[in-house]
A and B are shown apart, each in its own frame.
Chain A
Amino acid sequence: MTTPRTPDDPELAFLDRLAHAASRRQFLQWAGITLGVAAIGCGSDDMGTGPTPETDVMLGSGDVGILNYAYALEQLEAAFYVKAVMQPYAGMPAAELAILTDIRDHEITHREFLKAALGTAAIRDLDVDFTGIDFTSRASVLGAARVFEDLGVAAYNGAGRLIQDAGYLLLAGKIVSVEARHASAIRDLLNPGSADFAGDDVVTASSGLDRALVPADVLPSAGAYVTDSIDASQLPTA
């Protein structure tokens, strides 16, 4: 287990930036740490007070709806990797920590970019729920990572045709290939040197095509990790 951090630790500064970027309760959930007065260390989850009933999260319509849809997924991914890196499973090799740290930073970048792009139209910070993931288990963490990355790729691939603005489509395109790189790397970590990086389970062998899913087929899977109820009813469907 890592030792408590000193106040001048660069990662502490990074976490402090996160804390200011998100609501305090969300930060506690994502980072899975207990904020103390003198020092901060990786400890057991502090989920704060119990959840209060909240209204549905409305993604909205048109391009805003699609961007919020992407923002929701990036929130989920970022929160997951923040936690995975903050509480690395025992014996995580340095190379794997480096990969997960990179991915964490990419997902945070995606999340914050989408939040900035959406401005006042952005949905609120989601309540994530990772109780189904065992962060002490390599198989569980990398398995969840694979699910998230493959889902993200399929979501962006399926959403492209629903975007009206060419600029937003390009930005989504810039992100999706990076998610695919993530997926490839995670899958290779799980089964090194095999065809799994782009396995037949996710890339159709006869066509060489990755999956593309409509929001209605993505949100139930993503919703398993979010306690908020997400309303996607106004998203474009054609």
Chain B
Amino acid sequence: MPQRPTTQTILDGIDPDLLAHAVSRRDALSHLGRGAAGAALATAPVALGVMARSAFGRSRMPGQVVDVLNFALTLEYLEAEFYATGLDAGGLVPASDRPVIMQIAKHEAAHVALLKGALGGEAVAKPTFDFTAGGAFADVFANYATFMALAQGFEDTGVRAYKGQAGNLIGDGATLTTALQIHSVEARHAAQVRRMRGQKGWITNASTDVAALQAVYAGEGTTSQGGVNTAAFTSASAASEAFDEPLGMDDVLAIAGMFIQT
């Protein structure tokens, strides 16, 4: 399989082939001199990068894992540039909010670096973004309310996106763990941004105060989990809040694609 050209972005097409051979990352980790399980987890980001380039004598990870990581990288590129641009926009982020926005921006930039490191030569290029979405959000970097509405949308989408890919990482424990460790950080971001906007930190039913973001919350109202009617335990609204729902790659890219110039 030839290496993905670095000018290609994830929207140019996701490789449908190369379903991962059932390679065992446990073996890989043992070859890396894994110590106590706790230590292995602490060094998972390093292990991830090393394995990307040397696992099993091959120069690349299984295609499915590459696609998941490039999908994640695309979203992290988006968020990182969004927050960096916002912080640079004079008069946009109030001084009192800068500690929060800077912390979020720091994490997104770190996620980009982490995923690029793991993917090496197989990392997709950063797309060209248009955070106005073709003019739908023309004042995104001039109007703080617009900026924060989109921030909420990006964070809640990010949570759903990572969640939707977890199943594709079964069998690759290190990558799965790293994805989960990013996923929960995005959820911390989401809760904070939501609360700064006067919303609850959690998602109630499929509701949103921003009509343009409705697609981000489709399906969030479900209360049936694993065949169990969770609404019966306390209330339907609490049950809807208690579980965040995944979103598939296509649905996420449909949302993210609004902000990517083709």
Using a CB–CB cutoff of 8 Å, the interface residues on chain A facing chain B are 14, 99, 102, 105-106, 108-110, 112-113, 116-117, 153, 156-158, 160-161, 163-164, 166-167, 169-171, 173-185, 188, 193-195, 197-199, 203, 205-214, 216-217, 237-238
Closest chain-A Cβ to B75's Cβ sits at a distance in Å of: 13
The reply on B241 being an interface residue by CB < 8 A is: yes
Inter-chain contacts of A185 with B (CB < 8 A)? 191-192, 195, 201
Establish whether residues A180 and B180, one from each chain, have CB atoms under 8 Å apart when the complex forms: no
Given contacts A109-B230, A175-B243, A180-B188, contact A193 B106 (CB under 8 A): no
Establish whether residues B114 and A157, one from each chain, have CB atoms under 8 Å apart when the complex forms: no
Closest chain-A Cβ to B30's Cβ sits at a distance in Å of: 9
One digit per residue, 1 when the CB lies within 8 angstroms of any chain A CB and 0 when it does not, for chain B 165-204 equals 0110010011011101111111111111001000011100
Determine the distance from Cα of A209 to Cα of B201 in the docked complex, in whole angstroms: 20
Given contacts A173-B166, A203-B188, contact A208 B110 (CB under 8 A): yes
Closest chain-A Cβ to B241's Cβ sits at a distance in Å of: 6
Considering the complex, give the chain A residue whose CB is closest to the CB of B183.
A177
Total interface residues in chain B, CB < 8 Å: 62
Given contacts A169-B170, A170-B167, contact A160 B239 (CB under 8 A): no
Using a CB–CB cutoff of 8 Å, the interface residues on chain B facing chain A are 26, 37-38, 41, 44-45, 96-97, 99-100, 102-104, 106-111, 114, 159, 163, 166-167, 170, 173-174, 176-178, 180-192, 195, 200-202, 225-226, 228, 230, 233-235, 238-239, 241-246
Closest chain-A Cβ to B100's Cβ sits at a distance in Å of: 7
Establish whether residues A178 and B242, one from each chain, have CB atoms under 8 Å apart when the complex forms: yes
Pairs across A and B, CB under 8 Å, 5 listed: A160-B177, A161-B174, A170-B246, A207-B45, A209-B110
Given contacts A105-B235, A110-B242, A169-B170, contact A176 B202 (CB under 8 A): no
Determine the distance from Cα of A153 to Cα of B150 in the docked complex, in whole angstroms: 25
Establish whether residues A212 and B177, one from each chain, have CB atoms under 8 Å apart when the complex forms: yes
Inter-chain contacts of A156 with B (CB < 8 A)? 180, 184
Closest chain-B Cβ to A19's Cβ sits at a distance in Å of: 14
